[in-house]
Amino acid sequence: MSKPTRKTPITRRSFAVGAAVAATAALLPGKEIRAESAAPVQAQPSAMDKLSPKARAEVETKVNEIFRKYGSRLSDAQKADIRKVMAEGQEGLEKMRRFVLTNGDQPATVFKFSAEEKAKSHAE
């Protein structure tokens, strides 16, 4: 008669990992996963495509200046990243430029640079 082999007890860590895997598997919809894997991946429009011609020209000017200064030290991947980052940031710049602001406009909040300054303003 052979002795039954004794399994090692389940540790808290292995139980937690198993529970997390089971919970994740339960939440994943099987039909949608198969449909996504079968569907061709559509290319997302680049940030440059969303910009106006004037904004594109500005991005190209900035990128060319960066490449003029640092181009010899940059790899092709770094150059592509710089072009992408500059194009993505341009949209925010365009939004800020559309906001009308004059020199006489007061800030929404006043900056207090020290506790003493703050105490003085409250005392007044």
Tell me, what's the pLDDT at 30?
A: 61
Residue 112 contacts residue 118 (beta carbons within 8 Å): yes
Instruction: Count the Cβ atoms, other than its own, within 10 Å of residue 12.
Output: 7
Read off the pLDDT of residues 82-95 as tens digits, 9 standing for 90 and up: 999 999 999 889 98
**Stated pTM of the model:** 0.49
Instruction: Count the Cβ atoms, other than its own, within 10 Å of residue 83.
Output: 19
- Displacement of CA 78 from its chain's centroid (Å): 17
Name the nearest CA neighbour of 95 among 61, 60, 50, 62: 50
The more confident residue out of 61 and 49 is: 61
Beta strands in 37-81 (DSSP E): none
Tell me, what's the pLDDT at 40?
A: 52
CA distance 83 to 92: 15
| Alpha-carbon separation of residue 92 from 34, 85, 103, 112 (angstroms) | 37, 12, 21, 28
Domain-by-domain residue ranges, the chain? 47-98
Provide the angle, in degrees to the nearest 10, between the axes of the packed helices 76-98 and 53-70.
140
Tell me, what's the pLDDT at 21?
A: 73
